[in-house]
């Protein structure tokens, strides 16, 4: 079964620091997504990325967030100046452009901002 | 903004019993997803429902979609302890909109 991988599994950072979360998507899947899940809460969409461009972003995805595909395979989410409320699980996900439209989630990165 | 409501939020049921989780959403969509999440883990895809009247079954779980009513259900048949988890529905629009989740506990 296809697998999405994410690194690191856990990141601890101080408030105001920059963090970069990495995702290795499934090859040949063209849609990429980032989500976050604050502990005990629902999953929240952050951004979708298609054909090396942001296709949709939520209100959460403000100027402190950015996404890149720096080398054509890895997919990164950068938070420029972390806040305490950024502490959450961050998941990346892939979706193929063909049926059955399953979305595959990575294992997640737990971000703790102190 | 598309809103997705799930109920119940918490469900405690005895092994062997049947129950249904409901997912209502506010505007039309062509895809409805169900996921399972174990504590501290990622989301596992259970079902993707693509059309009105779609029904999918896997083991003790069966999902259905009524696009006219904007309602999806996840039916659990003869629950077993291994089904204890949080279940999310999600609706695909311009974004993916997740429900609040249903925390299911199956009691022996």
Give A42-95 pLDDT, tens digit per residue.
999 999 988 788 999 999 999 999 999 888 788 999 999 999 999 999 999 988
pLDDT at A98: 63
pLDDT at A95: 84
Which pair of tokens denotes residue A57? Answer: 């972003």
A-B CB pairs within 8 A amount to: 44
Q: Are the Cβ atoms of A45 and B96 closer than 8 angstroms?
A: yes
Among the partner residues A42, A101, A108, nearest to B50 by beta-carbon distance: A101
Distance CA B76, CA B94 (A): 30
Q: Are the Cβ atoms of B95 and A107 closer than 8 angstroms?
A: no
pLDDT by residue (tens digit) across A9-54? 999 999 999 999 999 988 777 788 999 999 999 999 999 988 788 9
Q: What are phi and psi of B6, to 5 degrees?
A: -115, 145
> Which three-class secondary structure state does DSSP give residue B75?
strand
Buried b (16+ CB within 10 A) or exposed e, B44-66: ebbbbbeeeebeeeeeebbbbbe
Among the partner residues A91, A99, A103, nearest to B45 by beta-carbon distance: A103
Distance CA A52, CA A39 (A): 30
pLDDT at A103: 87
Q: Are the Cβ atoms of A56 and B41 closer than 8 angstroms?
A: no
Collect all residues with Cβ–Cβ distance below 8 Å to A67 and sequence separation of at least 6.
A32, A34, A47, A49, A54, A75, A76, A77, A78
Q: Are the Cβ atoms of B96 and A103 closer than 8 angstroms?
A: yes
- B chain contacts of residue A44, beta-carbon cutoff 8 Å: 98
Residue A97 confidence class, pLDDT cut points 50, 70, 90: low
Closest CA to A113 of A76, A80, A68: A80
Which pair of tokens denotes residue B43? Answer: 């989301």
pLDDT at A11: 97
Q: Are the Cβ atoms of A43 and B43 closer than 8 angstroms?
A: yes
pLDDT at A102: 83
């Amino acid at each position: 079964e296809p697998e999405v991988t994410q690194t690191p599994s856990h990141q601890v950072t101080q408030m105001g620091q920059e963090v970069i979360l990495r995702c290795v998507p499934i090859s040949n899947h063209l849609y990429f997504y980032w989500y976050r899940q604050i502990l005990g809460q629902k999953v929240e969409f952050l951004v979708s990325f298609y054909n090396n461009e942001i296709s949709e972003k939520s209100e959460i995805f403000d100027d402190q967030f950015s996404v890149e595909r720096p080398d054509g395979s890895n997919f990164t989410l950068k938070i420029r100046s972390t806040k305490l409320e950024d502490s959450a699980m961050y998941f990346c996900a892939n979706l193929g452009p063909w049926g059955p439209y399953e979305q595959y989630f990575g294992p997640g990165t737990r971000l703790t901002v102190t | 903004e598309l809103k997705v409501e799930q109920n119940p939020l918490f469900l405690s049921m005895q092994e062997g019993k049947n129950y249904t989780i409901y997912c209502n959403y506010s505007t039309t969509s062509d895809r409805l997803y169900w996921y399972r999440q174990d504590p501290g883990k990622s989301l596992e895809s259970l079902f993707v429902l693509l059309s009105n009247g779609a029904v999918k079954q896997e083991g003790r779980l069966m999902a259905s979609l009524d696009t006219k009513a904007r309602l999806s259900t996840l039916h659990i048949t003869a629950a077993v302890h291994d089904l204890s988890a949080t279940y999310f529905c999600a609706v695909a629009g311009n974004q993916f909109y997740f429900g609040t989740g249903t925390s299911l506990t199956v009691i022996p």
